[in-house]
A and B are shown apart, each in its own frame.
Chain A
Amino acid sequence: MYQYDKYDQAMVDARVAEFRDQAQRRLEGKLSEDQFKPLRLMNGLYLQLHAYMLRVAIPYGTLNSAQMHVLADIADKYDRGYGHFTTRQNIQYNWIKLEDAGDILADLAKVEMHAIQTSGNCIRNISSDHFAGAAQDELVDPRPYAELLRQWSSFHPEFMYLPRKFKIAVIASDTDRAAMRLHDIGIQIVEKDGEIGASFYVGGGMGRTPMIAPNIREFVPLDQLITYSEACLRVYNRYGRRDNKYKARIKILVHELGAEEYTRQVEEEFAHLLEQGIEPPLAELERIKPYFADPAFEDGAKTVDRSDPDFALWVDRNTHRHKHDSYVSAVISLKPVGGIPGDATAEQMHLMADLAKEYSFDEMRVMHTQNVVLPHVKIADLHALWTKLDAADLGTPNLDQIGDIIACPGLDYCSLANARSIPLAQKISERFAEGGKQDKLGELKLKISGCINACGHHHAGHIGILGVDKKGVENYQLSLGGSEAEDTALGKITGRGFDEEGVLNAVDTVTDVYLAKKEDGERFLDTYNRIGMAPFKEALYD
């Protein structure tokens, strides 16, 4: 994986020193909270319901054991012994004291980590395919391109005060595991006539106005990648709406102008910027690539002993095909039955770090579904790995099952939320695990957001749940048919909302409809797409 050179390290060290000074001025009362707010936000520090929350960037979700150990130490030393992995492939700590923030950032900087641009109206952490470099179906590893974009977007002088936050994802396979078209910019690395380039999708997003990004250019040559990105951002910075926070994301600009007109403006700006010589030399991409070179894979066993049914089930559910036939990518579920989605204790983080070192070439990935991947595990080592995971409550075999819920922090932590997400996720997970209904349902992606900002990706859930405030009472809207994959779709609301018990029952009802109507090999989403909303609606409301 990528390693900082002296330049990258100097940039992060400079930022730590700067923020330490700013936090000190705030603590001494020289800065008011109003003056301090934009500064702390640029450094990932939010003031939440009960305490400060610190969000640490994990570029394209990739990290090594030393980094995970430090994340665990921070949880122990400065928080309450746990951390929360997020849908941006980052980690958040919910109980941070302002006076510790400088020290935490300094601890992070020692292992090439930071919290820069994890909040604020700027370009956020770049996300990518969690199976990058391991998946059999990828054209190339997308992470060198993501790393180049990371450098370009870090401390960008022109784009620190955009109309709104800005999220970029980079993938390099036709199978989309990063919800690429639901990003402000989604980039797919593609091949055309034997040449590698980037296909740009701009103006996707979730939130209160979900949109699927249109393709605005099918092929940008690699020696124009940064210049084209800059053009996309400049048009947005100049013309994105600033009169209404809820209409300020680039998706609204692209929608209001129309993709064609937005594209025209980008192309015009691009032509101008090409004259400016702002593109990095191609040699920089070549410098970055070897950091992501394949580790030394060895031939070995290609099958497992399936005599232990629990192990066999975990292998079937939680491993993903690898480009080398003696390896798989193994998913560590952070969704134990009845647990808080994405939470891991310091001990669990230490264990994952140790297992990555022992079994996965010292590498891990955070998934946007709030789980952790060991990307390169020998098939021969799977049983030993599973045994250790299972003993630490990290072996839940529920990847992409109804219990593998994405949920935002909700009203338990977040000052924006209208409703609680976590307790609902816990109850759904328990109800469907008991009695084995989960096993009958197969792949079913359920996502919960505690407010309209959609941090829990409910629009993209096969089943989505949105918490709203209805005259002071928590109420939940159900939607069906969303997808974040290559068949990206936005869920449709079933009808009137439910209270907490009601929405639990409603999920039961719609899954019953699926089980009754499904045809051979159909997933919940396939059945929904075939039979439509009516049968579900009828079962729910008639």
Chain B
Amino acid sequence: MTDLGTSPDGVQFRFRDDEMVDHASVTVDAFLEQSNSSAVRIEPGDDARDLLPHLDRIALVEVNFPVYGDGRGYSAARVLREEGYTGEIRAVGDVLVDQLNNMRRCGFDAFQPDVAMNEADAQAALDTWPEVYQATTDGRNPIWNIRHGVGPNE
């Protein structure tokens, strides 16, 4: 069973133990211009790489999904993880149970869906895949490595 994690404040699932950021996030533009904020919100058209020079002072990146079918946020999250960002990445908006698994694989570790998910469905979704085909930064060793006794990201 996957530990779903629970949290107040509209964040339905959170897979981390650290303190949540206690202030609202700012837009990428606002963050880059001024701001001592440690929380920033990425919209689908934003370039996550603009944040790279500042990763050490960010604790929360919210990635907004205005509609579930706009998949740019998956790349944004993965890019941030690949560049070494270890803070929270929270999926916000039109986030549905059927996307949970892929989002976890791309590096999201908190979920704030517009409409709360059924917890049993979420649990089932996260437990769907016994193994995975691709390597991401989530540490799971892909099938093509397991077959040949190779470790993750080797």
Give the docked Cα–Cα distance between A152 and B99 (Å).
18
Within 8 A of A (CB), among B100-154: 101-103, 105-106, 124-125, 128-137, 142-148, 150, 153-154
Cβ B101 vs Cβ A161 within 8 A? no
Cβ A155 vs Cβ B143 within 8 A? no
Cβ A158 vs Cβ B144 within 8 A? no
Cβ B129 vs Cβ A284 within 8 A? no
Query: Given A38-B68, A283-B148, is A155 in contact with B129 using a C-beta cutoff of 8 Å?
Result: yes
A148 closest partner in B (C-beta):
B144
Q: Does A14 contact B (CB under 8 A)?
A: yes
Cβ A152 vs Cβ B133 within 8 A? yes
Cβ B147 vs Cβ A159 within 8 A? no
Cβ B153 vs Cβ A277 within 8 A? yes
* Size of interface on B: residues with Cβ below 8 Å to A: 42
Please, which residues of chain B bring their CB within 8 A of the CB of A14? 128-130
Q: Which of B1-9, B23-31, B55-63, B71-79 lines the interface with chain A?
A: B71-79
Within 8 A of B (CB), among A6-62: 7-8, 10-11, 14-15, 17-18, 21-22, 35, 38-39
Shortest Cβ gap from B131 to chain A (Å)? 6
Q: Does B50 contact A (CB under 8 A)?
A: no
B65 closest partner in A (C-beta):
A161
Query: Given A157-B106, A234-B75, A272-B82, is A11 in contact with B129 using a C-beta cutoff of 8 Å?
Result: yes
Q: Which of A151, A157, A273 contacts B74 (CB 8 A)?
A: A157
Query: Given A276-B82, A276-B153, is A284 in contact with B148 using a C-beta cutoff of 8 Å?
Result: yes
Please, which residues of chain A bring their CB within 8 A of the CB of B137? 276
Q: Does A306 contact B (CB under 8 A)?
A: no
Please, which residues of chain B bring their CB within 8 A of the CB of A38? 68-69, 98
Which of B47, B69, B136, B146 has the most C-beta atoms of chain A within 10 angstroms of its own C-beta? B69
Interface residues on A, range: 35 or more
A227 closest partner in B (C-beta):
B135
Give the docked Cα–Cα distance between A412 and B47 (Å).
45
Q: Does A436 contact B (CB under 8 A)?
A: no
A284 closest partner in B (C-beta):
B144
Q: Does A281 contact B (CB under 8 A)?
A: yes
Give the docked Cα–Cα distance between A11 and B134 (Å).
12
Cβ B82 vs Cβ A151 within 8 A? no
Please, which residues of chain A bring their CB within 8 A of the CB of B124? 21
A156 closest partner in B (C-beta):
B134
Q: Does A5 contact B (CB under 8 A)?
A: yes
Within 8 A of B (CB), among A153-187: 154-162
Q: Does A471 contact B (CB under 8 A)?
A: no
Q: Does A440 contact B (CB under 8 A)?
A: no
Give the docked Cα–Cα distance between A187 and B134 (Å).
20
Query: Given A161-B68, A276-B135, is A287 in contact with B143 using a C-beta cutoff of 8 Å?
Result: no
Give the docked Cα–Cα distance between A142 and B78 (Å).
31
Please, which residues of chain A bring their CB within 8 A of the CB of B106? 157-158
Query: Given A281-B144, A284-B144, is A154 in contact with B133 using a C-beta cutoff of 8 Å?
Result: yes
Please, which residues of chain A bring their CB within 8 A of the CB of B74? 157-161, 237
Cβ A7 vs Cβ B146 within 8 A? yes
Shortest Cβ gap from B133 to chain A (Å)? 5
Cβ A278 vs Cβ B134 within 8 A? yes
Give the docked Cα–Cα distance between A14 and B44 (Å).
31
Q: Does A496 contact B (CB under 8 A)?
A: no
Give the docked Cα–Cα distance between A234 and B76 (Å).
10
Cβ B135 vs Cβ A157 within 8 A? no
Please, which residues of chain A bring their CB within 8 A of the CB of B44? 242
Cβ B69 vs Cβ A161 within 8 A? yes
Shortest Cβ gap from B83 to chain A (Å)? 9
Cβ A284 vs Cβ B136 within 8 A? no
Please, which residues of chain B bring their CB within 8 A of the CB of A155? 102, 129, 132-133
Give the docked Cα–Cα distance between A273 and B134 (Å).
13
Give the docked Cα–Cα distance between A8 and B132 (Å).
10
Within 8 A of B (CB), among A282-334: 283-284, 287
Query: Given A38-B69, A161-B68, A161-B74, is A277 in contact with B134 using a C-beta cutoff of 8 Å?
Result: no
Shortest Cβ gap from A355 to chain B (Å)? 34
Cβ B71 vs Cβ A237 within 8 A? yes
Q: Does A192 contact B (CB under 8 A)?
A: no
Shortest Cβ gap from B106 to chain A (Å)? 5
Cβ B75 vs Cβ A10 within 8 A? no
A128-156 to B contact mask, C-beta < 8 Å, 1/0: 00000000000000000000000110111
Cβ B143 vs Cβ A160 within 8 A? no
Please, which residues of chain A bring their CB within 8 A of the CB of B129? 11, 14, 155
Give the docked Cα–Cα distance between A287 and B129 (Å).
23
Shortest Cβ gap from B67 to chain A (Å)? 9
Please, which residues of chain B bring their CB within 8 A of the CB of A272? 82
Cβ B101 vs Cβ A157 within 8 A? yes
Within 8 A of B (CB), among A234-281: 234, 237-238, 242, 272-273, 276-278, 280-281
Please, which residues of chain B bring their CB within 8 A of the CB of A161? 68-71, 74
Cβ B147 vs Cβ A238 within 8 A? no
Give the docked Cα–Cα distance between A234 and B82 (Å).
13
Shortest Cβ gap from A228 to chain B (Å)? 14
Please, which residues of chain A bring their CB within 8 A of the CB of B103? 157
Cβ A238 vs Cβ B70 within 8 A? no
Jot down 27 A-B pairs with beta carbons below 8 A, ordered by A: A7-B143, A14-B128, A17-B128, A21-B124, A38-B68, A155-B133, A157-B101, A157-B106, A157-B132, A157-B134, A158-B78, A158-B102, A159-B71, A160-B71, A160-B102, A161-B70, A161-B74, A237-B74, A237-B75, A238-B75, A242-B72, A272-B82, A276-B82, A277-B154, A280-B142, A284-B147, A287-B147
Chain A residues close to B by CB (< 8 Å): 5, 7-8, 10-11, 14-15, 17-18, 21-22, 35, 38-39, 121, 151-152, 154-162, 234, 237-238, 242, 272-273, 276-278, 280-281, 283-284, 287
| Known contacts A158-B136, A238-B75, then 4 further A-B pairs from the complex at CB < 8 Å, ordered by chain A residue | A17-B128, A121-B69, A160-B71, A272-B82
